[in-house]
């Protein structure tokens, strides 16, 4: 996609966005090394928390090296418009200049006018200029609000966009080829699909040993990762931590969060909205095909590492400081790990269901999620447009096929099947039993990975 943008007959403007650590910078650097770009000058500027004048000076120093124009580093334009006009003027004729603003949210924090300046120059100079490619990357919240948002100066001007998502469970498997499927899944339950987290979990160590070395050790790369990411985005964290600590134990409706956190009920919506905007939370509704209502919503902690950290590390920081990583792992984490992984397994199954549908030749539209009411919880719901609704139970621990099927049938009786669709039952488990009920489709962990 980026190569196609680089070959456009007019200017190219591409925002790249996603959560922190997802690989935006790595993607842009790799692209800039590609043949289609490296033949042309590329100014790759990384924003930082620094005064505006210092950032402009560093940008000009980078431009001076890239364009072989030493005098650029000596001038001191008073604003970004003057800087960008001067750099553009000195670009050699016939060559395409790539301007990359990485972590643009930090540059814009010091120079709030920057986005408007980019909009003005795009509209008046760059849009029809085959000699320029503008790439900006930043956090999901900033790009969606300040670049793509309907009230943003640059709204409607991008010629392409890339929203980077975490790797899927199947893609994450390639980071630890030496792991069994069970350990690959356990690693995914902790790291999610975030590349540096997966790289930190080595497949020549057990999952437990990786937890000890990469998360619990005070010098480990992920020991303060969740804390760091939150403090980087938020000014005061105490109230946010109260919400996240509660959600680390499982999804919650707003009313329950109001009861279990010290936050005033009339202020809770603000904290939830902010965490949702930053990508830490997911909103979920029971999947029934009916219209959603705000009363049904439940919040989940969406980032796996943040969830693990608030579930096992944050509440045990004092114990960890007093007793060390080994004791904390043995007494505070390992006894609860299997239950924790069981909760995460249901999420993997919901993620896998669309792939199973493709494998099974399902061509109808569908919605995948789960269902709950005051009496039952159904782990997986596939609401399909071909008048079939799949209901599934997920079991990470060893199960009796007869017992889990009976429980699933009992839960299915509570599902609101208003359209009178055919109900199809599925069980997701680590292994396949020697005998299973004939009217239930059984999916093993291997089935999910091989799909």
CB 431 within 8 A of CB 445: yes
- For residue 138, give the 3-state DSSP assignment: strand
Model pLDDT, residue 364: 96
Per-residue model confidence as pLDDT tens digits over 145-154: 999 999 999 9
- For residue 84, give the 3-state DSSP assignment: helix
Q: C-alpha 432: how far from its chain's center?
A: 32
Q: What is the 3-state secondary structure (H, E, C) of 159-190?
A: CCCEECCCCCHHHHHHHCCCCCHHHHHHHHHH
Q: What is the mean pLDDT of the chain?
A: 93
Q: Indicate the pTM of the whole model.
A: 0.91
Structure tokens at 438: 């004939």
Per-residue pLDDT, averaged over 355-363, amounts to 96
Residue/partner pairs of 37-43 with CB below 8 Å, 24 or more apart: 37/6, 37/98, 37/133, 39/95, 40/95, 40/96, 40/97, 40/98, 41/66, 41/67, 41/91, 41/92, 41/95, 41/97, 41/98, 42/66, 42/97, 42/98, 42/100, 43/87, 43/97, 43/98, 43/99, 43/100
Per-residue model confidence as pLDDT tens digits over 249-292: 999 999 899 999 999 888 999 999 999 988 899 999 999 999 99
Model pLDDT, residue 36: 61
Model pLDDT, residue 451: 87
Model pLDDT, residue 233: 86
Q: Which domains are delineated in the chain? A: 2-163 (3.40.50.300), 170-342 (1.10.10.10), 345-450 (3.40.1350.10)
Structure tokens at 197: 């987290």
Q: Is the pLDDT of residue 39 over 80?
A: no
Model pLDDT, residue 228: 93
Q: Which helix (H) or strand (E) holds 215?
A: none
């Amino acid at each position: 996609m980026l190569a196609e943008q680089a070959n456009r007959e007019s200017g190219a403007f591409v925002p790249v966005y996603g959560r922190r650590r997802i690989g935006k910078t790595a993607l842009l650097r790799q692209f800039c090394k590609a043949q289609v770009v490296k033949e042309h000058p590329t100014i790759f500027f990384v924003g930082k928390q620094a005064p505006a004048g210092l950032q402009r000076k560093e940008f000009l120093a980078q431009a001076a090296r890239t364009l072989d124009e030493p005098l650029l580093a000596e001038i001191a334009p008073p604003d970004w418009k003057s800087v960008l006009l001067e750099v553009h003027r000195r670009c050699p004729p016939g060559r395409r200049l790539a301007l990359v603003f990485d972590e643009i949210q930090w540059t814009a924090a010091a120079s709030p006018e920057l986005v408007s300046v980019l909009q003005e120059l795009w509209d008046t100079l760059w849009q029809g200029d085959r000699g320029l490619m503008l790439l900006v990357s930043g956090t999901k919240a900033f790009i969606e609000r300040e670049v793509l948002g309907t009230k943003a100066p640059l709204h409607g001007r991008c010629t392409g966009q890339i929203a980077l998502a975490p790797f899927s469970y199947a893609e994450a498997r390639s980071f630890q080829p030496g792991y069994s499927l069970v350990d690959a899944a356990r690693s995914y339950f902790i790291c999610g699909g975030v590349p540096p987290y997966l790289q930190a979990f080595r497949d020549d160590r057990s999952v437990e040993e990786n937890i000890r070395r990469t998360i619990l050790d005070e010098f480990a790369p992920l020991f303060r990762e969740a804390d760091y990411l939150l403090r980087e985005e938020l000014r005061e964290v105490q109230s946010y931590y109260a919400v996240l600590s509660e959600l680390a134990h499982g999804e919650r409706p707003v009313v329950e969060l109001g009861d279990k956190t010290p936050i005033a009920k009339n202020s809770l919506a603000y904290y939830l909205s902010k965490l949702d905007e930053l990508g830490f939370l997911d909103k979920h509704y029971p999947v029934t095909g009916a219209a959603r209502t705000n009363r049904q919503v439940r919040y989940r902690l969406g980032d796996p590492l943040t969830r693990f950290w608030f579930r096992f590390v944050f509440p045990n920081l004092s114990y960890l400081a007093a007793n060390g990583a080994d004791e904390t792992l043995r007494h505070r984490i390992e006894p609860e790990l299997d239950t924790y992984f069981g909760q995460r397994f249901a999420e993997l199954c919901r993620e896998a269901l669309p792939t199973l549908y493709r494998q099974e030749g399902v061509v109808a539209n569908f919605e995948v999620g789960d269902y709950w009411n005051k009496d039952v919880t159904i782990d997986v719901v596939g609401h399909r447009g071909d008048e079939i609704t799949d209901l599934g139970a997920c079991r990470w621990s060893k199960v009796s096929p007869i017992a889990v099927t009976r429980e699933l049938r009992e839960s299915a009786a509570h599902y609101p099947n208003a359209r009178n669709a055919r109900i199809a039952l599925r069980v997701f488990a680590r292994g396949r039993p020697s005998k299973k009920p004939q009217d239930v489709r059984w999916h093993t962990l291997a089935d999910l990975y091989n799909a």
